[in-house]
Amino acid sequence: MQRFIFIFSFIAIPFLGKAQERFTITYKSKRVKYEKNVTYSLSPFEMVINDSVSYTYNPGVMKAKKRAMKAPLGSFFLSKSTFVDIKNCYTLSPGGHQKKVDEQYLIIDSCTTGTWEITDSTKPILGYQCYFAIGRSKEDTFYVWFTPDLPKGAMPYTPTTLPGTVLEYWLQDSEFISTAKEIKAEAVDIIEPNYCQRITRKEYVKWRESITYRYIYF
């Protein structure tokens, strides 16, 4: 599956935005549509913000592997995680062979372009005034609620040009919508991952198709 990062220009009411700071935001996802007798749900995940970089990961992954949290984030291989450079607009995500260190990779994704439409619709999330925005590109459409009272450009797994942090989002046709459930004004350190070889998404897909899927992190 190809992955896209969206960097949008926007039509907006004016926002001053807030100086970059350090935060840890926990998100939970729920099904967009109710389905009887379906109990499966996604586990909570966290986005850690350090100035103009962020790191999104699933704490349950480390718990399942009986590993203690290491710091700084980005210094070790952690599946289902993403490092985001908001300022320079790219991400790094680990992928590769579960049991072979020499076949573990950092997949780099660059931004694609699109547009944001920021509306005057508002609602509170965890005490923060949030604005509704719609992001459109050739591939996808995002519906988000963001607050200008938290660092600009921050969103789980991807950078944006929004003048604030996204606290709720839904990708059109996606099964789940994700909403912030806890915000802490503190964060562990983040460094840019550099513990294994970097490859493009295209190179990774080609490699993945050439081997057995059993031991792969996606």
Q: Which residues of 142-172 are buried (b: 16+ CB within 10 A; e: fewer)?
A: bebbbbbebbbbbbbbbbbbbbbbbbbbbbe
What is the count of structural domains for the chain?
Answer: 1
**What pLDDT, on the 0 to 100 scale, is given for residue 40?**
54
pTM: 0.84
For residue 60, give its domain range.
5-217
**2 confidence band (pLDDT: 50, 70, 90):** very low
11 pLDDT more than 50: no
Please tell me whether the peptide bond between 14 and the residue prior to it is cis, using omega within 30 degrees of 0.
Answer: no
CATH number at residue 195: 2.50.20
Pairing of strands 141-147, 128-136: antiparallel
**Mean of the per-residue pLDDT values of the chain:** 84
3-class state of residue 161 by DSSP = coil
Residue 113's H or E segment, with its range, is strand 104-125
Strand partners, 9: 115
**What pLDDT, on the 0 to 100 scale, is given for residue 139?**
82
